[in-house]
Structure 1
Amino acid sequence: MAIKNRLHRSELAVPGSNPRMLAKAPDAGADVVFLDLEDAVAPDDKEEARHNVIEALRSLDWSKCSVSVRINGLDTHYCYRDLVEVVEQVGDKLDTILIPKVNGPEDIYFVATLLDQIEQAKGWQPINLHALIETAAGMDNVKEISRACPERLEALVFGVADYAASIQARTTNIGGANPDYAMLTDASSSDRRESHWGDQWHFAIARMVVACRANGLRPIDGPFGDFSDPDGYLAAARRAAALGCEGKWAIHPSQISLANQVFTPSDEEVERARRILAAMEEAAREGKGAVSLDGRLIDAASIRMAQNLTAKIEQINARSR
């Protein structure tokens, strides 16, 4: 099955244990909604949450977004029932399954094998997979994970909170900046030294992005915990976008528009991309081997980036219509 080239600017997390939030999710404006059976659901509520998710998938109109379910971890006894019950009953409504705490390619193969059997039995179309990279083992094996099951695997997501716990990192908030991750300027005669904060998660996100792009997957940044801090969310989203991510989680509806804002190309970017492609076409008609725009040479990488950007804006415009 060819991987669907869906939009991933914003991915809204919705607890399966909250019917009120489930009812609002399809119209929230996110590109992707994932119905959560894992971290957002207490152990005593797992079965009820599974029932709520099945009912929401069956009864609500999901045509305005892509829809996913985050199953419980493969190291729990909830996992296989999540897959069997949800996919057997409403697998035809699902775009993807989100697998948490993926440690190696074998975790992808396990879920894919179960899906193969259920889909064959029910006659469902194949369901794609998203994998959460949120453990030290998962990050260590991210290259192998990204190559697993290419017919299903669509995206990798950086799960910063569990990743921080896994590597025993000292951090002050989920996905935000850390004043301890900073450099001091050299001492001067005035003894005044400036402190420059860094991005504690730069290496991890960049490593995941490289694995994704080398294997045709979409890299997605995970949560930003303080939903009362829109400026902090925007800064984190922009850092992820600068590193090559094409979307970010929203753990609160107020974060959806922020993610869409960051991961939607600006009017200036779109205009320049179209001018690059127009210049390329004109040079081809004139038989020129080189393309220039505004006094600068346009290389093949610039052309590919322009093509990718215009394709994305066409998707966004189509959704808006």
Structure 2
Amino acid sequence: MTDGLREAADVRPCRSLLSVPAGSPALFEKAARSKADAVILDLEDSVAPDSKAEARASVIAGLRDVDWGDRIVCLRINACDTPFMYRDLIDTIEQGGDRLDAIMIPKVNSPAEVAVADMLASQVEAAVGRQRPLGLEVLIETAAGLAAVDAIAAASPRIQALHLGLGDFAASLGARTTVIGGQSSDYGVLSEATDDNRARAFHPGDIWHYALARLLVAARALGLRAIDGPYADFRDVEGITSLARRSAAMGFDGKWAIHPSQIDPINRCFTPTEAETSRARAILEAMEAARRDGRAAVTLDGRMIDIASIKQAVALIGKVDRISSKEK
């Protein structure tokens, strides 16, 4: 494994991550011209076993030939328990040039799997003289992975982000769902029973809230990005918007898109609004005035703000500035 302290995660915006099948190189140019902050070239679920080698060659060519702009480019390799993983890493690092930013490891169940990828990447990078170490992105997709997420997140200083993949995760739990990343109409509670025999209201819940919150806490504890996974019904604009707003409100950095039509709704949801930005700037201005007057806290629009308010405002303005810089 690599030595030393964890480096800061890539600071580029990562609101929308467009997943592109590695076996469809005709889509690479379209992805590179899209408004997605990141592109995931997928060698795993979207590629049949007999087509893995051909898709890997397409990725290598695409990394060398396509102008990916300033977006993050990530390669989703095959899982560590498959016969494809080692060749995915070796061939891509040896032949793909320096444009690749990160390797995504799917279905991670233990820190040992991260250590294997880290060690192998380190050796190949040293052999080819790669100057910029690859980051690692960890995809949590099983009950075992979520149970060990703290240890997994700390397994390598290369790790930059934790992702939650709800399709395989639902299967791992035995959840009764029909759409990857969607909700269940059965998940909720009834209002309390009353004596007047009125119909009891049903209050739906978020079936994935615990898993999302658990992964988010593990990521933030180590300064990592937290990424929500895909929503498979790409025709449902209202659905992807609702799910992205939920994740953004929780504190996630971004969400997967499996179709270009999902990029704009995701980007909007993960971009602070003008009202939020104005409020954050007003907080910073008010606190600066309080500092000059020797006060530790101040009221703004009838609400108390203090050092915690500053931290929130600074984080939001930093996000706005990074997004604005990318979109210039």
User: Aligned residue for 1:311?
Assistant: 318
CA distance in 2, matches of 1:173, 1:131: 22
Which amino acid letter does the alignment assign opposite residue 29 of structure 2? A
User: Aligned residue for 1:271?
Assistant: 278
**1:135–1:167 Cα contact (<8 Å) kept:** yes
User: Aligned residue for 2:241?
Assistant: 234
User: CA offset at residue 288 of structure 1?
Assistant: 1.6
CA distance in 1, matches of 2:10, 2:182: 31
**2:8–2:223 Cα contact (<8 Å) kept:** no
Residue 232 of structure 2 is aligned to residue 225 of structure 1: yes
The total of aligned residue pairs comes to: 320
SS in 2 for 1:169: coil
CA distance in 2, matches of 1:219, 1:164: 19
Moved over 6 A (4+): none
Structure 2: 5+ residue stretches without partners: 1-6
Which amino acid letter does the alignment assign opposite residue 270 of structure 2? F
TM-score between the two structures when normalised by the length of structure 2: 0.95
User: Aligned residue for 2:161?
Assistant: 155
Q: How does 1:112-261 map to 2 (within 5 A)?
A: 112-124=118-130, 125-150=132-157, 152-188=158-194, 189-261=196-268
User: CA offset at residue 307 of structure 1?
Assistant: 0.3
Deviations along 1:86-123, one digit per CA (max 9) or x if unpaired, are 11112411111111001111111111111111111111
User: Aligned residue for 2:35?
Assistant: 29
CA distance in 2, matches of 1:4, 1:213: 14
After superposition, the CA RMSD in angstroms is: 1.1
Which amino acid letter does the alignment assign opposite residue 11 of structure 2? N
Which amino acid letter does the alignment assign opposite residue 85 of structure 1? D
**1:30–1:65 Cα contact (<8 Å) kept:** yes
Residue 89 of structure 2 is aligned to residue 79 of structure 1: no
User: Aligned residue for 2:73?
Assistant: 67
Which amino acid letter does the alignment assign opposite residue 177 of structure 2? T
CA distance in 1, matches of 2:184, 2:115: 36
User: CA offset at residue 267 of structure 1?
Assistant: 0.3
Structure 1: 5+ residue stretches without partners: none
Q: What percent identity do the matched residue pairs reach?
A: 51
Residue 289 of structure 2 is aligned to residue 282 of structure 1: yes
Deviations along 1:214-237, one digit per CA (max 9) or x if unpaired, are 111111000101001010111111
CA distance in 1, matches of 2:75, 2:204: 36
SS in 1 for 2:144: helix
**1:27–1:64 Cα contact (<8 Å) kept:** no
**2:137–2:159 Cα contact (<8 Å) kept:** yes
SS in 1 for 2:14: coil
Which amino acid letter does the alignment assign opposite residue 290 of structure 1? A
User: Aligned residue for 1:297?
Assistant: 304
User: CA offset at residue 292 of structure 1?
Assistant: 2.1
User: Aligned residue for 2:11?
Assistant: 5
User: CA offset at residue 67 of structure 1?
Assistant: 0.3
TM-score between the two structures when normalised by the length of structure 1: 0.97
Which amino acid letter does the alignment assign opposite residue 76 of structure 1? T
CA distance in 1, matches of 2:9, 2:207: 32
**1:50–1:86 Cα contact (<8 Å) kept:** yes
